[in-house]
């Protein structure tokens, strides 16, 4: 997979080269390009924003600068009006995906992370101020797949933190990135539920013992106990998730208890 990100704060994205994401690059599983949007400015002040049409507070990022940057990174025509130069691949995985972090976007979920992980090229556009002129994405959608995504119902200062969060969620799903493939298969959301509690040594810490069943060596009992904990935690913290999970008799019994 290749990830490109355009931002006015490239240094903010240095963690993309650290820890597991860094190792994924060393292993040849990931390529990362971080681009300073100001490289595509044309004026002496290297401006990237202007006041909003219709009035109101804050500034909006300029469409021309964004198109210049995105068209280069995505290989699009230099003018959005020119549709002759791009022929999208029939294979969705090979088509680049332009990801636009915005609080007004579709909620980013594990399911979306799994979809993104099937792509070979993600390009992120990091907004600042009041965001980016909408015409950039409306025009880009004529040439590439575009998705506006939100990290959650709160407002960040810029899109960079969203790039880091989304990249981590996606890259860890690429086969070979995590040492143990099972770790993400058993994580929260992979079966639609929150994961239950985890314990390690010592068996008794500060007078608190780990649950007996986990030391029993009986894998069927341990699996059942983990499923029960997972169900109970989900019912308590995120009951709305249960609506999309296939539950059997034993599951219902636990939830009723
Ligand atoms: N005016 C925008 C609104 O009310 O929807 C908020 C702009 S915010 C201050 C600046 C940038 O931060 C956005 O363009 C986006 O890149 C990023 N951002 C803020 N909150 C976000 C969220 N919840 N999810 C994803 N990106 C977010």
Q: Cis omega (within 30 of 0) on the bond before 202?
A: yes
The residue among 215, 236, 235 whose CA lies nearest residue 225 is 215
* Residue 59 alpha carbon to ligand 1 centre in Å: 13
Taking CA atoms only, the protein residue closest to ligand 1 atom 6 is: 130
Can you give the pLDDT at residue 83?
67
Can you give the pLDDT at residue 82?
85
CB proximity list for 70: less than 8 A, separation 6 or greater: 6, 76, 98, 123, 125, 136, 140
Between the two ends of the chain, the Cα-to-Cα distance in Å is 46
- Among the atoms of ligand 1, which is closest to the Cα of residue 130? 1
CA gap 100, 95 in Å, rounded: 16
Can you give the pLDDT at residue 181?
74
* Residue 52 alpha carbon to ligand 1 centre in Å: 16
Q: How far is CA 94 from CA 90, 121, 175, 231, in A?
A: 8, 7, 17, 37
| CB distance 241 to ligand 1 below 6 Å | no
CA gap 257, 35 in Å, rounded: 54
Helices (H), 75-173: 110-116, 135-140, 160-171
Residues annotated within a binding site for S-adenosyl-L-methionine? 127, 151-156
* Active-site residue, 138 included: no
The residue among 100, 78, 106 whose CA lies nearest residue 5 is 100
Asked if 118 contacts 92 with a C-beta cutoff of 8 angstroms, the reply is: yes
* Residue 65 alpha carbon to ligand 1 centre in Å: 19
| CB distance 96 to ligand 1 below 6 Å | no
Can you give the pLDDT at residue 187?
87
Structure token pair of residue 221? 């009992």
Burial class, 115, CB count within 10 angstroms (exposed 0-12 / middle 13-18 / buried 19+): middle
| CB distance 156 to ligand 1 below 6 Å | yes
Q: What share of the chain is helix, strand, coil (3-state, %, to 5)?
A: 40, 15, 45
Structure token pair of residue 186? 């058993």
| CB distance 101 to ligand 1 below 6 Å | yes
CA gap 23, 29 in Å, rounded: 9
Long-range CB pairs of 109-114 (<8 Å, 24+ gap) are 109/189, 110/169, 110/188, 110/189, 110/190, 111/189, 112/147, 112/149, 113/166, 113/169, 113/170, 113/173, 114/173
User: Can you give the pLDDT of all 257 residues of the chain as single tens digits?
Assistant: 999 999 999 999 999 999 999 999 999 999 999 999 999 999 999 999 999 999 999 999 999 999 999 999 999 999 998 866 566 778 888 899 999 999 999 999 999 999 999 999 999 999 999 999 999 999 999 999 999 999 999 999 999 999 999 999 999 999 999 988 777 778 889 899 999 999 999 999 999 999 999 999 999 999 999 999 999 999 999 999 999 999 999 999 999 99
Q: Which residues pair with 204 in a beta bridge?
A: 209
Rounded to two decimals, what is the model's pTM?
Answer: 0.95
Can you give the pLDDT at residue 86?
62
Can you give the pLDDT at residue 24?
98
Asked if 65 contacts 48 with a C-beta cutoff of 8 angstroms, the reply is: yes
């Amino acid at each position: 997979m290749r990830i490109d990100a355009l931002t006015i704060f490239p240094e903010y994205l240095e963690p993309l080269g650290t820890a597991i994401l860094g190792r994924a690059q060393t292993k040849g599983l990931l390529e990362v390009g971080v681009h300073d949007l100001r490289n595509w400015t044309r004026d002496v002040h290297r401006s990237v924003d202007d006041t909003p049409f219709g009035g109101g507070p804050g500034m909006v990022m300029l469409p021309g600068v964004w198109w210049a940057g995105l068209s280069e990174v995505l290989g699009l025509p230099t003018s959005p009006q020119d549709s002759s130069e791009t022929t999208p691949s029939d294979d969705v995985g090979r088509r680049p995906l332009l990801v636009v972090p915005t609080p007004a976007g579709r909620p980013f979920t594990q399911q979306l992370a799994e979809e993104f992980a099937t792509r070979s090229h993600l390009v992120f556009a990091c907004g600042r101020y009041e965001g980016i002129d909408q015409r950039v994405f409306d025009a880009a959608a004529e040439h590439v797949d575009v998705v506006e995504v939100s990290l959650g119902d709160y407002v960040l200062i810029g899109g960079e933190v969203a790039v880091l969060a989304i990249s981590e969620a996606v890259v860890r799903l690429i086969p070979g990135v995590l040492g143990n493939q099972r770790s993400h298969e058993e994580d929260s959301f992979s079966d639609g539920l929150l994961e239950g509690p985890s314990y390690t040594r010592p068996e008794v810490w500060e007078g608190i013992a780990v649950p007996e069943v986990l030391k029993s060596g009986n894998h069927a009992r341990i699996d059942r106990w983990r499923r029960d904990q997972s169900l109970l935690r989900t019912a308590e913290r995120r009951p709305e998730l249960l609506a999309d999970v296939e539950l059997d008799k034993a599951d219902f019994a636990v939830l009723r208890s």
